[in-house]
Structure 1
Amino acid sequence: MEHSMFELPEVETVRRDLERDIVGKKIKSAEAMSMKVLRRYRTRNSFVSRLVGNKITAVQRRGLHITIEFENESNLVVDLGSSGSLRRTANKEAIDPETEVVITFTQHGQLRLLDAQGTSEIFVVDDDSILDELPELEELGLDPVSEPVTWTVFGRSLLQRRVRLKTLLTDPTFVVGIGDIYADEILFHAGLRHNRMSDSLTSQEIRRLHRALVGTLHDAIKHRGTSIPEREFIDPVGNPGEYGSHLMVWGRHGELSARSRLPIQRVKFRGTWTYFCQTQV
C-alpha cells in the first residue's frame, strides 16, 4: 500500500483543530517555497497575492478537501493527498525543509503546509466557481460524519448497486473518505467479507455494516486518525494519529484475530492487500 491517501478521519481531525484555532484570524503575509503544491498556478505570486489581507470565517471539509473560507467569499482549498501536513507554528519556529507554504497571521503565529513528496495541493477559489475547479464534489456520496444518515437510507443506497463491498466502501460516490485501512476495519466490525456482493445483504447485515461504518469513523476521529509507517499522519500541533494501535485487522496478517483467535488473513484485492478474519462472511 504505497502512498495511500489520507482518509476521512485524518482530514476531519485537521479540520476540527483548525476550526477551533484559526477562525477569526487575518492573514498578514504568505510565502510559497516552490511550485510543487501549486499545480493550478504559473507563478507563486499569483497564489500568494490572493491570500494577503483575508479574514477566516470558517473551516469546512468537502469530501477529503479542507476549505478555509474567507470573508470576501473566496476559499483556500487544501487537498492533503498522501503526504501533506498542515501545522500551526510560532513565527520564530525554524522552517522545516519539507515546508511548501507559510501563511502568517496578524496575531498568533503561522499555518504551514509541509509536504516532502508533493502529493498535496493548495489553491484559492471563489465561492461561485468551486464546483468548476472541483467538479468531483458534485458526485460525492454519503458523508456519515458531517451529515448523519439512517441505516434505512444507507441500505437503500447500498441495495441499488451490485458491487463487491470493499469496492463500494472505497467509492467516493457512495460514501466519502474511505480507503483501504478503514474499509477493512469497517468490514471486520460488521463481520462481512470484502468480496460479498452489496445486493446480497440481509437487513440485519445492512444494519451491522451501517453501525460499523459510523462507529469506526467516529472512533478513528476520537483517536485523531491513523499514522502508519507507509503513510505518517501528523496533526496541526505536530502529534501523530493514535488510531493505529486500535486497528483490528489492517496490517496485522498472521496475528491472532481478537474475535476468532485464528490468524488474520490477507489477500490481494484490486491490486492492494485486504485484511480479514475467518469469521467474516
Structure 2
Amino acid sequence: MPEFPEVYTIVSDLNREIAGKRIISIQILDPALARPSKDIIKSLVGKNVEGVSQLGKNIVLNFQGGGGLIFHLRMTGRLLFRKRDAGADPYTRLVFYFGENQLRFCEMRRFGYAQYLSKDEMEVLKSHREINMLNISGEEFTKRIKEKNTIVKRALLDQDMISGVGNIYANEALFLAKINPERLTKSLLPREINLLLASLKTVINEGISHRGATLPDKSFVDIYGKPGSEQNYFKVYGKNGKPCPICNSIIVVKQISQRGSFFCPTCQKNTAWNP
C-alpha cells in the first residue's frame, strides 16, 4: 500500500499537471469504485480542480466550495496521467478527461476507490488525517504516543495517531532509532521518543527524495508509470536473513499486528538503550 512518500509524489505531480484544469468528461467503467454513487462522481464534470492535496494516504482533488474527490489506492491502485491517444492501461476503472490528457484510476484487486466528500465530510477527514510526519511537533508526537498503551509498532501504524506512516517506513524508522518494534509505548524514554520522531522524519524525507518505494510486485508507480527508488536504500525492510548494516547480526522478521516486522535483534533490543 502506498505510504506517505508515495502519496506525496503522486500529489506533487498531479498538482503540476491538473491544478486549475477543468474536468471535461468522466468515464466510469466500474461503478462500484465510484462512491457514494456514479451520478455524484459524474456531477464533477465541468468543475475546475483547484488543487491536489494529501491527507495521510488519501489523495484529494479539491473543488470550489470545500468539497473534494479522494482516491485511496489501497494495495494495487494507481493514478496514471496519460495523453488522450495513449494505449489502454490494464484494470482501468475510472477516467477523468482534461482536454488532451486523461487521469486514469486503475485498480487490479478493486480494494481502492474514488469517493466524493462534501465540505463537512472533508472537515471530518481533515480532523483525523491533517497531522502528519512533516508537520507534527515534538510535543504533539510525545503526547500522542504516550496516550497509547500498546506496542510501538502498532502505535505507528495507527492512522489516527499520525497519518501516512505504514509498515515500510515504520520498520525503517524503528531500526534507525534502535527501538524494538515490540517495546511498549509507555516504556519509551523521552530521548527515545525524540529520536523516533527524528528517525521517522528522516526516512519519510528520504522516501520523498527517491519518489517513493516500488516493491517487487511493482504496484506503486508515479502518475507517469515510473517506479520509485527508495527500495534501493532499505536498511531492514525485506532484508530478513541478511546481515545488519551496523553490527552484522542477522536481520529477523516477525509477524506483529498482522504485518511483517523486520529488525535487528542486537541493535533493537526490547529494552531501553544507553547512548
> Please, what TM-score do these two structures have when normalized by structure 1?
0.89
Residue 262 of structure 1: CA displacement?
1.5
Is the CA contact 2:66–2:119 (under 8 Å) kept in the aligned structure 1?
yes
* Partner SS for 2:31: coil
Number of the residue aligned with 1:14: 10
Provide the residue aligned with 1:143 in structure 2: 132
Name 1:27's counterpart in structure 2: 23
Are the equivalent residues in 2 in contact too, given 1:30–1:101 (CA < 8 A)?
yes
Q: Greater shift after overlay, 47-56 or 22-31?
A: 47-56
Give the deviation of 1:181 after TM superposition: 1.3
AA paired with 2:268?
A: Q
2:167 match: 180
| Equivalent of 1:128 in 114, 120, 124 | 120
Figure out how many residues of one structure are paired with residues of the other and give that number. 268
CA contact (8 A) 1:227 1:234 kept: yes
Aligned to 1:83: 76
Q: How does 1:255-274 map to 2 (within 5 A)?
A: 255-274=242-261
* Residue 94 of structure 1: aligned partner: 87
Q: What stretches of structure 2 of length at least 5 have no aligned partner?
A: 270-275
Q: Determine the C-alpha separation between the residues in 2 that align with 1:49 and 1:87.
A: 19
Instruction: For structure 1, list consecutive stretches of 5 or more residues without a partner in the other structure.
Output: none
How well do the aligned residues superpose, as a CA RMSD in angstroms?
A: 1.8
Answer yes or no: is the 8 Å Cα contact 1:66–1:77 preserved in 2: yes
Residue equivalent to 2:52: 59
Task: Tell me how far 1:114 sits from its aligned partner.
Answer: 0.9
Instruction: Give the aligned residue type for 1:272.
Output: R
Structure 2 residue 259 is matched with structure 1 residue 279: no
Q: Tell whether the 8 Å contact from 1:77 to 1:125 is kept in structure 2 after alignment.
A: yes
Q: Using the alignment, how far apart are the partners of 1:35 and 1:49 within structure 2?
A: 11
**Fraction of identical pairs, as percent:** 27
Q: Does the 8 Å contact 1:158/1:198 carry over to 2?
A: yes
Q: 2:204, 2:182 → 1: CA distance?
A: 21
**TM-score normalised to structure 2 length:** 0.91
Q: Does 1:205 align with 2:192?
A: yes
**Contact 2:149–2:184 at 8 Å: present in 1 too?**
yes
